[in-house]
Structure 1
Amino acid sequence: MTTWFRQGSLRQWSLAGLAFCALMMGVALWLEHGVGLEPCPLCIFQRVAVLAAAAVFLVGILHNPHGRVGLVYAGLSSLAILAGIGIAGRHVWLQSLPADQVPTCGPGLDYMMDVMPLREVLATVFTGSGECAEVDFTFLGLSLPAWTLIGFIVLLLAPLGMMGRTLAKKSKNQP
């Protein structure tokens, strides 16, 4: 399996990561605009994590780094993806709570962004919101946050491939 990670170039791994980010965002936008599902605050933060990873992958494609610089791109994209995993995991956890333990619904994200400092908005969203605990849609028995969590885990393969490629080249060049 480790040889599989070493085969693609850094540009190819970045392209694969960007393509998967585009797929994730395409599904999210289709569900919002095509199906009519409104994203909750945690869903929006998951989208931000996907877009942050996509931005790193795009710069990686344009730059096509060589050597240890590839580890920087892999690290930055991993941070965005791990943040997405954390947010999606929190979302899945909120949805798994019994009804009597679900936090109360707060104001909408737009309103909070207008009247609260960003730190308070983040604290409010991550401590829980009743609207984030609602399961509006399932596919194959899994909620959308669960599918998003799976998507982030699959997306993590791209920076792991970038790291594997960079470390393989580094060990190959050393005597």
Structure 2
Amino acid sequence: MKKSHYLLLSLLSFGLVAFAVVLQQVGYQGVSFLPCPLCVLQRVGYLGVAISCLLAAGIPPLRKWFHSLAILPAGYGVAVAGHHVWLLSHPSESCGIDPLETWINQFQFVQNLPWLFKADGLCSAKLPAILGLQVPEWSLLWFVALTLVLLVTFFKKP
């Protein structure tokens, strides 16, 4: 992959996190989208992809290594977003308060950047759909796309 492709993937991943923060701060259709623990974990996945791709673009001798490193948070994101989508379709499986929230909110980086990492919402909350899909469904779609692009380009001959 070219340097510009890595920068594009990085910008896309950072942009998706920025969009999530806008939904959290500004809201959509009068509803504030408070991030749940699974939402926060998905943000970590996007940031992992973004930083790995940024490093792949900036350090050509280690490009293949950072490319393979970017596949890990993308796959992790597929798993977390997939679980979140499953939880939305099975709301009876949620007990309301998620013990994961307490665990996530105790970290120092959450204290330093609460607007980005503090988990306040419920994972099974049905929020307004954006273009027909819930936010976790969009997230799953983007993670699958990122993972496929990273996998296909990793095994593609230069």
State the match for 1:132 in structure 2.
Answer: 123
- Tell whether 2:17 aligns with 1:30: no
Partner SS for 2:122: helix
Which residue does the alignment assign to 2:71? 78
Contact 1:71/1:162, CA 8 A, preserved across alignment? no
Alignment of 1:2-151 (within 5 A): 8-9=1-2, 11-35=3-27, 36-65=32-61, 69-97=62-90, 99=91, 101-106=92-97, 111-113=102-104, 131-151=122-142
Distance 2:41 2:53 in 1: 18
Q: Deviations over 1:98-120 (max 9, x none)?
A: x4x3221225756334679xxxx
Separation of aligned partners in 2, 1:39 and 1:46: 10
Report the structure number with the largest CA radius of gyration: 1
Q: How many residues align?
A: 141
- Unmatched segments (≥5 aa) in structure 2: 108-120
* Aligned 8 A contact 2:55 2:63 in 1: no
SS at match of 1:106: coil
CA contact (8 A) 1:13 1:162 kept: no
Q: Distance in 2 between matches of 1:110 and 1:94?
A: 15
State the shift of 1:161 in Å.
5.5
SS in 2 for 1:148: helix
> Under a length normalisation based on structure 2, what TM-score does the superposition of the two structures give?
0.77
Structure 2 residue 156 is the aligned partner of structure 1 residue 160: no
TM-score (norm 1): 0.70
> Mind listing any 5+ residue stretches in structure 1 that lack a counterpart?
1-7, 117-129, 170-175
| Higher helix fraction (1 or 2) | 1
Amino acid at match of 1:131: L
Instruction: Identify which of structures 1 and 2 has the higher relative contact order when contacts are C-alpha pairs closer than 8 Å and 6+ apart.
Output: 1
